[in-house]
Chain A
Amino acid sequence: MGAPTSLTDVHDAMPSFDEIIRTLTLQGGFNTTSVILGTTLLGLAAGVVGAFALLRKRSLTADALSHATLPGICIAFMIAQSIGMASRSMPVLMSGAAISGVIGVACIHLLITKTRLREDAAIGIVLSVFFGAGVVLLSVIQTNPSGSAAGLNHFIYGQTAAMTRADSITMGVIAIVATLLALLMLKELTLVCFNDGFAQVTGIPVWVIDSIILALIVLVTVSGLQAVGLILVVAMLIIPAAAARFWTQRLWKLVVLSMLIGAASGYIGASISALLPRKPAGSVIVLSSGGLFLLSMFLAPSRGVLATTIRQAGIRIKIANDHLLESLHEHAQDATPPTIKALAHAQGIHPLRLRILALMLSMRGLVRIKDTRASATKSGLARGARVARNHALWEQYLITYADIAPSHVDWSVDQVEHVLSDDLIAELERALAGDAR
């Protein structure tokens, strides 16, 4: 064992620009091209199916399902071998995988409905026990002297390099079938995802739709096993859909985006894996979709972290401004305006923060700062008066109508006075005036 050097140490030469272009434009030889096309289609299908899996909260069920395929692969291999078939034939292994995956999901369903165990435990039990059984069977197969077992390991971590042309084509065809099936049933799937109760009443058998979603998950999982491996194939279902969820509230957009993100990660992953040495396609695909997820999580408008933070900061600043103007309004009759320190103390915030707020308001012409003292300008006073009035109105409303003990009022007032609409205020005034009479 040689002393390991730095991770960034790339031993093989970087691919030339020409090579990169050829691979990316699908001219890098028939085998490479078919693998790239296959994984792209797989990503596409996984994106579509994953969107429904996400909405039906089946993400971790899919994880258990993919782990549960291992014993099926092994048993299919053993049976095929014992009856003298080509034991490495993909259709045989994939059927085995699908059957045991479905049995695994059936076990989850049984555990949830027939015992007091919750979903998390049921999923975990099936995942670990089936995978354990697979590992046991794998160790039995590996003792086989014929050596034909070599390669079953690849289903765990995935190995694109071991894929034949026929494997890629099988994968692509299954992916296309899954995509078409999902798109054809878009209406029913949507209904079941958003309101299964209503779907049931409308006459759509929810369990049939759920079984179809499950079947689609099985198709995608099984066809992705060889390229991505059974541990990571679930990521192709979960990540694109979760990333797409940040960008939209509409289902068809979610499906399209998730499909695009899935296809992009499949394409990028397989291309990088083909171009660079020792970049297993499965991990690169998952990492690229992870990168897209990260981008979406931060940058998406409205639901993204950045947008949310900015929006919340805006609201917080507005609230703080209102508080400041309100207290300046209270001090309007004082002989000398209050010091910034005293204002900060009264509001329980750091003086520096209050000074910044005051400076910002003074730039808008609402506050005057003289030395260490602050006072409101005419327009600032008007604004402060309005806030104070809202405050009082809401306080009165809560006491009169909402049966809230007076000692509890102030706290909630500070939260809501900034969101009161002008209409509501007018209504409150009328109601309180009527009440006073």
Chain B
Amino acid sequence: MSTDMYLFLSGDLFPLLAGILAALFCGLLGNHLILRQQSMMGDAISHAVLPGLVGAFVLSGSRNPAIMFFGAAGSAIVTVVLIQLVRKLGRVEPGAAMGVIFSVMFALGVLLLEQAQADGVDLDPSCVLYGQLESLFWTPPREWNEFFSFSTFNEIPRQIWTLLGTNIAVIGFMVLFFKELRVSAFDPGISSSQGINAGVIRFVLMLFVAGASVASFEAVGSILVIAMLICPPAAARLLTDRMGPQIIVSAVLAVASAVFGYVVSANIPEAWVRGGSVNAAGMMAVMSGVFVALAAIFSPTHGSISKARRRRALTKKIHLEDLLSALFRFRESGQPAASAQQLAPLVGHQRVARIALDDAIAGELVVVDAGMISLTVSGYERAASLIRKHRMWEGYLVDQAGMPADHVHPVAERLEHLSSPVPKEADAPHGDQHGKPIPPAN
């Protein structure tokens, strides 16, 4: 085995693995929080486990993970119940209820911690926040063939097993109760009519969030928990529209955040940190935020670039169509061609009219002859179908929607650009409201 590989195995493998494992189950669970608009519950719970952790630690006098888990889970349950109570009994706004309870719990935790430290208890408050990923080093065997022995397994840090177990529990929960989780997230009413108690599901979900934040606090700290509960699902939400793909994408992004975050933190130039190390958990959180930003900007469906592009294309199409129907109306009033100056106010201002005209010429919808613009055959057909749409909509709006005739033009002006079906003749028996002929279909 090479020295590099040995160094990687001893110093990097388990911190990286712990980050990946914690990111994975948090990212998975977060999907259900974000769909319920309960993302901040993850934040609240991961702050509020502090008094339970410290209390269990102080009372038992040991760092026994099982005892600490029960302490933390206990205070997480208390938090969830209290938030619910304050919301329901006190009729306090949900955000404020959450803020009141988690900050009081956290304050209690800090106070307990301070007392515990006086008793010589070694529990660092900052480790609760950003964990001790770096402490997960081990001494792997020197040779590959020694890996498959009992003693090697014994060397694996306990935290890794905890995180692995939590992953199995979370994935099991999400697979077994996929249907229940989905229906209770989207429609609590339907859910209870199907015999699925949305309240119970929600409470169990909160227990899992509590369990996840307790299981990962020791290795990765609460900052990574909060980030992974929220960021990967949020990024996935910007990339997908269905729940199954969203969950898969969020899992991939969570793992990617952990890996990239770790790689970046391990490769920060020596000169910046002067022999120290950069907090890997924090870097993983930052990386998950980078993914959200990338998704928000570049997502093909919901990203701001594609949204802006779609909006521009639509605007151009509307301007072009306005130009064509303006020409059609000129023709109707006995003027087969119009000048650019005449058309511009009907399309918008000079510049957009110019662009629309260029588009129309390029599409062979109009021809320009000595500064006068007229429709080609295909341009006439397109304009006729637009005008038909416009006038059919006007008729529909008066006959079916009961709008006054002098109000329908601006509405029809918008509806004519939609790709929705044109109203049927039976829906607009009186035809055009202004006595103009309606072009026949095709």
Residues on A close to B: CB < 8 A? 1-5, 7, 9, 11, 54, 57, 59-60, 62-63, 111, 114-121, 123-125, 127-136, 138-140, 142-145, 153, 156-157, 231-232, 234-235, 238-239, 241-242, 245-246, 277-280, 282-287, 290, 293, 297, 303, 305, 308
Chain B residue contacts of A144, Cβ below 8 A: 274
Q: Is the CB of A278 within 8 A of B115?
A: yes
Q: Does B84 sit within 8 A of A, measured CB to CB? A: no
The 22 listed contacts between A and B (C-beta, < 8 Å) are A7-B115, A60-B98, A111-B296, A117-B234, A118-B34, A121-B230, A121-B234, A123-B40, A127-B43, A131-B282, A132-B281, A132-B289, A139-B279, A140-B273, A140-B278, A156-B125, A239-B104, A242-B92, A278-B114, A284-B107, A284-B111, A305-B89
Q: Is the CB of B223 within 8 A of A57?
A: no
CB closest residue in chain B, given A12: B118
9 shortest interchain CB distances as A-B pairs: A143-B276, A132-B285, A129-B289, A135-B282, A235-B103, A286-B107, A128-B227, A124-B230, A290-B104
Contact of A277 among B107, B118, B230 (CB under 8 A): B118
A238 and B90 in contact, given A125-B231, A135-B282 (Cβ under 8 angstroms): no
Chain B residue contacts of A278, Cβ below 8 A: 114-115, 117-118
| Chain B 102-145 interface mask (CB, 8 Å, partner A; 1/0) | 01101110111011111111100110011000000000000000
Bound CA–CA A115/B231 (angstroms): 14
Bound CA–CA A2/B114 (angstroms): 15
Bound CA–CA A143/B270 (angstroms): 11
Q: Does B99 sit within 8 A of A, measured CB to CB? A: yes
CB closest residue in chain A, given B118: A278
Chain A residue contacts of B86, Cβ below 8 A: 297
CB closest residue in chain B, given A237: B99
Q: Does B265 sit within 8 A of A, measured CB to CB? A: yes
Q: Is the CB of A231 within 8 A of B106?
A: yes
Q: Is the CB of A11 within 8 A of B118?
A: yes
A124 and B93 in contact, given A4-B120, A136-B265 (Cβ under 8 angstroms): no
Chain B residue contacts of A280, Cβ below 8 A: 110-111, 114
Q: Is the CB of B39 within 8 A of A143?
A: no
Bound CA–CA A121/B223 (angstroms): 15
Bound CA–CA A246/B240 (angstroms): 43
Instruction: Write the nearest CB–CB distance from A42 to chain B, whole angstroms.
Output: 15
Bound CA–CA A138/B283 (angstroms): 11
Residues on B close to A: CB < 8 A? 34, 37-40, 42-43, 47, 57-58, 61, 86, 89-93, 95-100, 103-104, 106-108, 110-112, 114-122, 125-126, 129-130, 223-224, 226-227, 229-231, 233-234, 237-238, 265, 268, 272-279, 281-286, 288-289, 292, 296, 302, 304
Contact of B130 among A4, A124, A135, A246 (CB under 8 A): A135
Instruction: Write the nearest CB–CB distance from A51 to chain B, whole angstroms.
Output: 11
Chain A residue contacts of B114, Cβ below 8 A: 278-280, 283
Q: Is the CB of A120 within 8 A of B121?
A: no
CB closest residue in chain A, given B60: A4
Q: Is the CB of A242 within 8 A of B121?
A: no
Bound CA–CA A119/B92 (angstroms): 18
Chain B residue contacts of A303, Cβ below 8 A: 91
Instruction: Write the nearest CB–CB distance from A311 to chain B, whole angstroms.
Output: 13
CB closest residue in chain A, given B226: A128
CB closest residue in chain A, given B292: A125
Chain B residue contacts of A117, Cβ below 8 A: 234, 237-238, 296
Chain A residue contacts of B275, Cβ below 8 A: 143
Contact of B286 among A133, A142, A235 (CB under 8 A): A133
Bound CA–CA A112/B111 (angstroms): 36
Bound CA–CA A205/B80 (angstroms): 39
Contact of A135 among B34, B116, B279 (CB under 8 A): B279
A136 and B108 in contact, given A7-B58, A57-B95, A59-B96 (Cβ under 8 angstroms): no
Contact of A4 among B61, B129, B274 (CB under 8 A): B61
Bound CA–CA A111/B237 (angstroms): 12
Contact of A128 among B230, B237, B265 (CB under 8 A): B230
A136 and B226 in contact, given A5-B119, A283-B114 (Cβ under 8 angstroms): no
Q: Is the CB of B276 within 8 A of A286?
A: no
Chain B residue contacts of A293, Cβ below 8 A: 100, 104
Chain A residue contacts of B34, Cβ below 8 A: 118, 120-121
Instruction: Write the nearest CB–CB distance from A368 to chain B, whole angstroms.
Output: 39
Bound CA–CA A111/B34 (angstroms): 14
Most chain B beta-carbon neighbours within 10 Å: one of A120, A134, A242: A120
CB closest residue in chain B, given A8: B115
Q: Is the CB of B229 within 8 A of A124?
A: yes
Q: Is the CB of B93 within 8 A of A140?
A: no
Q: Is the CB of A131 within 8 A of B111?
A: no
Bound CA–CA A238/B99 (angstroms): 7
Bound CA–CA A54/B292 (angstroms): 28
Chain A residue contacts of B125, Cβ below 8 A: 156-157
Contact of B276 among A130, A139, A153 (CB under 8 A): A139
Q: Is the CB of A125 within 8 A of B230?
A: yes
Chain A residue contacts of B272, Cβ below 8 A: 140
Instruction: Write the nearest CB–CB distance from B52 to chain A, whole angstroms.
Output: 14
Chain B residue contacts of A305, Cβ below 8 A: 89-90
A297 and B89 in contact, given A7-B115, A135-B282, A156-B129 (Cβ under 8 angstroms): yes
Chain B residue contacts of A7, Cβ below 8 A: 58, 112, 115-116
Chain B residue contacts of A125, Cβ below 8 A: 230-231, 234, 289, 292
**18 more CB-based (< 8 A) A-B contacts, given A59-B95, A135-B282, A242-B99:** A2-B120, A3-B61, A63-B40, A114-B304, A115-B238, A120-B40, A123-B40, A132-B283, A133-B286, A133-B289, A134-B282, A135-B285, A156-B129, A235-B107, A242-B92, A286-B104, A290-B103, A290-B107
Chain B residue contacts of A143, Cβ below 8 A: 273-277
Instruction: Write the nearest CB–CB distance from A406 to chain B, whole angstroms.
Output: 25
Instruction: Write the nearest CB–CB distance from B187 to chain A, whole angstroms.
Output: 17
Q: Is the CB of A63 within 8 A of B99?
A: yes
CB closest residue in chain B, given A236: B103
Chain B residue contacts of A123, Cβ below 8 A: 39-40
Chain B residue contacts of A115, Cβ below 8 A: 238, 296, 302, 304
Contact of A60 among B99, B104, B107, B233 (CB under 8 A): B99
Instruction: Write the nearest CB–CB distance from B295 to chain A, whole angstroms.
Output: 8
Instruction: Write the nearest CB–CB distance from B310 to chain A, whole angstroms.
Output: 14
Instruction: Write the nearest CB–CB distance from A207 to chain B, whole angstroms.
Output: 21
A129 and B292 in contact, given A7-B115, A9-B119, A283-B108 (Cβ under 8 angstroms): yes
Bound CA–CA A88/B47 (angstroms): 28
Bound CA–CA A251/B169 (angstroms): 49
A132 and B121 in contact, given A245-B92, A246-B90, A282-B107 (Cβ under 8 angstroms): no
Chain B residue contacts of A119, Cβ below 8 A: 37
Bound CA–CA A280/B279 (angstroms): 26
Contact of B285 among A114, A128, A138, A140 (CB under 8 A): A128
Chain A residue contacts of B268, Cβ below 8 A: 140
Bound CA–CA A57/B98 (angstroms): 12
Bound CA–CA A119/B37 (angstroms): 8
Contact of B278 among A59, A128, A136, A157 (CB under 8 A): A136
